[in-house]
Amino acid sequence: MSILVGNDTRVLVQGITGNEGQFHTRQMRDYGTKIVAGVTPGKGGQDVDGTPVFDTVSEGVAQTGANASIIFVPPAFSADAILEAAEAGIELIVCLTEGIPVNDMLAIRKHLDSVGIKLIGPNTPGLISPGKCKLGVMAGYIHQPGHIGIISRSGTLTYEVVHQLTSLGIGQSTCVGIGGDQIIGLSFSDLLLLFEQDPDTKGIILIGEIGGSAEEEAAQVIADHISKPVVAFIAGQTAPPGRRMGHAGAIISGGSGTAAAKIEALQSTGVGVAESPAHIGELMAESLIR
């Protein structure tokens, strides 16, 4: 099994006729993802390599039964694209776009929470259930089907950890990049609970970074609800206070959001925290043996 995406996921691509949309649609389809529709306003009736293009998401859903959407749309139009997908009844929305205004995302989160629709991102590489479905820009060939769930705020570190696990012969159930913006959809805490409920996931890796309180909140969820072994790494341990490092959400302010505070919170719940990203895979392997 896996979480969020699998063999039954039917994907609609918003912005499919742009260069980025076309390229990654081909990559996802070649991986085995069921791409059933695309949407670009004004280009309905066309196709991209045989995938039909519609003017609206609702039309695409009605014609193809799409239940997930991935968004390759510029920041100025991404908020509307997310809301359009939600109003069309899409169950899972993945938004890769970086730079959506915070005020727009606040309104989107309020709406999506009220109707129970799941959002991954924005500013995410996407997610993948190896051997089943890829929604995003991850390099599918480094992944291997298996039993470790990965939740990460860093795309680059996700690829490093996946490579380590695969090299050790340890496969993954689902890997999720939650996104690096200040306001995102599903959080560490949300995904931890989904992995806890997935019988095929035997262990969980959490890759966090400085800024915000998501990792501390995840530590409380782990203490209260997670029975499976969890391994973590916190990036940005040498970052100076007040300076944004990489992601909009990766900023220490007012003495909060430090790597030390996050590491302490996780370790207090029994989570093994790797000192270096190079040791995450080995630490997960050791945790599975205990």
**pLDDT tens-digit map of 249-273:** 545 444 557 889 999 999 999 999 9
**pLDDT tens-digit map of 81-139:** 999 999 999 999 999 999 999 999 999 999 999 999 999 999 999 999 999 999 999 99
Is 110 in the same domain as 200?
Answer: no
248 pLDDT above the threshold of 60: no
Is 229 in the same domain as 177?
Answer: yes
Is 75 in the same domain as 146?
Answer: no
Residue 209 located in a structural domain:
yes
Is 173 in the same domain as 283?
Answer: yes
Instruction: State whether residue 39 is helix, strand or coil.
Output: strand
Residue 263 located in a structural domain:
yes
238 pLDDT above the threshold of 80: no
Is 158 in the same domain as 277?
Answer: yes
241 falls in which pLDDT band (50, 70, 90)?
Answer: low
99, 75 in Cβ contact below 8 A? yes
288 pLDDT above the threshold of 60: yes
Active-site residue, from 24, 111, 163, 247: 247
The label of the residue with tokens 């996921």 reads 9
Return the CATH number at 223: 3.40.50.261
Q: Please tell me the distance from the alpha carbon of residue 207 to that of residue 232, in angstroms, as a whole number.
A: 6
Is 29 in the same domain as 165?
Answer: no
Is residue 24 flagged as an active site residue? no
Is 114 in the same domain as 165?
Answer: no
Residue closest to 138 by CA, chosen among 149, 154, 114: 154
Neighbours of 65 (CB within 10 A): 11
Share of the chain above pLDDT 70, in %: 93
Number of domains in the chain: 2
Is 57 in the same domain as 173?
Answer: no
Q: What is the reported pLDDT for 256?
A: 57
Is 71 in the same domain as 143?
Answer: no
240 pLDDT above the threshold of 70: no
Cα-Cα-Cα-Cα dihedral sign, residues 198, 201, 204, 208? negative
34-38, 103-107, 232-236, 247-251: the lowest-pLDDT one: 247-251
Is 144 in the same domain as 284?
Answer: yes
Is 25 in the same domain as 106?
Answer: yes
Q: What backbone torsions phi and psi does residue 88 show, to the nearest 5 degrees?
A: -85, -5
Parallel, antiparallel or unpaired: strands 34-39 and 51-54: parallel
Q: What is the reported pLDDT for 236?
A: 78
Q: What is the reported pLDDT for 84?
A: 98
Return the CATH number at 108: 3.40.50.720
Mean pLDDT (the chain, rounded)? 93
**Domain range for residue 114?**
10-120
Is 143 in the same domain as 280?
Answer: yes
**211 — alpha (psi -120 to 50), left (phi > 0) or beta?**
left
DSSP code per residue over 89-123: T-SEEEE--S---HHHHHHHHHHHHHHT-EEE-SS
Residue 31 located in a structural domain:
yes
Q: What is the reported pLDDT for 283?
A: 97
193 falls in which pLDDT band (50, 70, 90)?
Answer: very high
